[in-house]
Every structure is written in C-alpha cells, then in structure tokens.
Amino acid sequence: MSIPQKEKERIENLFEQIKSSFNQAENEKKLYDFKVKFLGKKSPLSIARKKIKDYPIEKRPAWGEFFNKIFEDLDHFYLKKQKELSQKSLDQKIEKEAMDLSLPGPYCIAGAKHPITRVIESIIKIFTPLGYSIQTGPYVESDWYNFSALNFPPFHPSRDLQDTFYIGENHVLRTHTSPVQIRTLQSQKAPLAVLAPGAVFRADSDVSHSPMFHQIEGLYVNKKVSLAELKGTLSYFLKHLFQSSKMKVRFRPSFFPFTEPSAEYDISCPFCFKGCSVCKKSTWIEIGGCGLVHPEVFRFVDWDSTKWQGFAFGLGIERLAILLFNIPDIRLFFENDIRFLNQFSSLG
C-alpha cells in the first residue's frame, strides 16, 4: 500500500468531519445542503479524489480503492441519516396533526325553521287527515287568474294600483292565493279538497301590513256542500291549531266577488276570552274570508254549477303566527334578525 500516511489521515479526518456534519443535520434539507457542500464537485474530498490522475500510475488503484470506500461509506451514512430524518419529520407531523378524539366537537349552530314555515306546516298537518292535498300556483299571475276568473268586475277597487303590483298591463304579483282555486278547477276533477299556501303581494306596509305576506287558501268541491260544513271545517281547524276546545268561530256577512254567500270569520281571542288589547276589547279576532264558491267562478272554468258546489276560505299566515307566538310587529318576520328567529329554534 503506497498511500502516504499523512494524506490518508487528512482524508480520514475529512471523512469523520463530514460524518459528524451529517449527524448534526436537524432536517432533510440541511442534510442535503451538507451533501452538496461536502460531496459536491467542488468539495475538498472530490478535489482530493480528482488528484489521483496526477499520481504515478502504479499508485492510482490503491488511491481509487481508498476513495471509493470513503464515498461509499459516506453515501451509505447519508442514506441512513436521511431515512432517520424523514421518519422523524413524519412522526412530528403526525404528532402535530393528531386529533384528540376525547375533546368536544366544534360548536355548530343549527338552523331552525322560520315561524311562518312552522305555522304553514301545522296547518297542513291538521288538514291532511281530512283529505286535503297541497296545490301551488305562480307568484306572477295574469289578470285573468287573479281577478277576472274570480268574478272581479272590471273596475273593482281591488284592482286599483294602490293595492296591486302590476307587471306590465296584463300581469300582477298575485294579491291573494285565490287564483289557485281557478288553477285547481282547471286541473282536477271533483270531489276535491286542496290547500294552497304561499306568498302574496300588496302595496301596503306598516306595523300590521307587509308588501309580501302569506296566505293559505282552502277549496272543497263536491256534489253538495253547505255553509255548515264550511263553518264546521274552520272551527275544527282553529280548535286544533290553537289547541283549545274553548275556541269559537263566528261568521260575519261580507262580500267577495268569488263567493256567495260570503263571510269573514273571527275566532274568540286566544289571549283573554274576555277582552284585551290584542282583540281591542271585542273578544274576537278577525282571521280571514270565506264563502261558497260563486256559480260564476264555476262558469269561468266550464264547470256545471248545477252539479257542483264548493266552499273556499283564505287566511293570513302572519296574522295567525302573531297570535300563536304573541309577536308585536309583522315586520319582524322578514327582517331575518337572528335574535328573533332563534327564539323559535327550540320548537322542534
């Protein structure tokens, strides 16, 4: 072996230094930087190896072997260290991202049904066992569905611009759910019983009026239908809605172009039964309009009014919600104030 002892020791020192640098690398990036620095083309070790070619030819194999062993060992050491560091960083990552499954989950605010939806659903629940199905209609109605087919004379005050939102000349935002009566008579056969809940629109806004509010329309058609059946149905419904057997319903004669006879119906005040500020000391609260289907309405949709009779009723959902939940201002329903809406979330 003809490697000078001094040079051999220098390289071996270098080898130990490199190994200890690799050992000190705290992560894979540092380790790689050390590799480039100590084993790269311009590193002292590589430069020393390159010098082999200047040595006498008979000395070169021994030097070659020596360097190969050094590089091989360092390579080996590097890979071992790299594996170690990569495992370490994986362990750290796992530890950092570990979930403590015993901790409570993130707080999640559950949404709740709007009070108007709740009232609509309660009403549907009462009528469904009586055989009523749900019918809907569009918000934008033609003048014919909203007025003419419901027997409104051409110059009836309800057509007045003050109440009705007109869309062009022949269309309106429906002012009530009664046009669904017409659509039902056009699409179904008697006997029939439908409920039509939905939004309606009128140009009116104050504490007790909103330009958009909700109604439910009821329509029942059969061979023989009486006012007594209408009253019985409404009284059954309202007793169940207010969960009070004491609840009374009274009819007051009224006028609607599409019913004859027509009535407005009131319920006994659910708050007092003897006169309070809600019922303005009258003990009665107005709920909606109703009556027997006008023969002219049957005629408009080509039904034989000598063969069929019907009753219809309408009611304002907000009005009922105000009574059921004791709410002072109709506008609260549409402001989407979370403090107001949250008060209904516990109702299930």
Binding site for ligand PHE (CB under 6 A): 176, 178, 217, 256, 259, 288-291, 312-314
State the pairing for strand pair 171-173/133-134: unpaired
The residue behind tokens 């055989």 is: 131
Our measurement of the distance from residue 246's CA atom to the centroid of its chain's CA atoms, rounded to an integer in Å, reads 38
Nearer to ligand PHE by Cβ, of 197 and 289: the residue is 289
Which residue lies nearer to ligand PHE by CB, 78 or 127?
127
Nearer to ligand PHE, 22 or 256 (CB): 256
Alpha-carbon span 319 to 25, nearest angstrom? 76
What is the rounded distance in angstroms from the CA atom of residue 76 to the CA atom of residue 149?
94
E strand or H helix at 221, and its extent? Answer: strand 212-222
Looking at 144-185, which runs of residues are DSSP E strands? 166-167, 171-173
Taking phi first (over 0 means left), then psi (-120 to 50 degrees means alpha), and beta for anything else, what does residue 215 get? beta
Q: How far is the CB of 118 from ligand PHE (least distance, A)?
A: 22
The minimum distance between CB 313 and ligand PHE, in angstroms, equals: 5
Q: Smaller CB distance to ligand PHE: residue 115 or 289?
A: 289
Looking at the Cβ atoms of 93 and 252, the one nearer to ligand PHE is 252
Spell out the residues 6+ positions from residue 21 whose beta carbon is closer than 8 angstroms to its own: 34, 38
Report in angstroms how near the CB of residue 312 gets to ligand PHE at its nearest. 4
Minimum CB separation of residue 339 from ligand PHE in Å reads 31
Question: Smallest gap, in angstroms, from Cβ of residue 146 to ligand PHE?
Answer: 10
Nearest approach in angstroms of CB 344 to ligand PHE is 26
Q: Mark residue 198 as left, alpha or beta (left: phi above 0; alpha: psi -120 to 50; beta: remaining).
A: left
| Terminal alpha carbon distance of the chain | 93
Q: At what angle do helices 115-127 and 317-325 cross, to 10 degrees?
A: 100
Q: How far is the CB of 208 from ligand PHE (least distance, A)?
A: 15
| Residue nearest ligand PHE by beta-carbon distance | 314
Tell me the residue type at 141.
Answer: E
> Going edge to edge, which strands form the sheet with 171-173?
140-142, 171-173, 166-167
Nearer to ligand PHE among residue 270 and residue 288 (C-beta): 288
Cβ-based nearer residue to ligand PHE, 178 or 268: 178
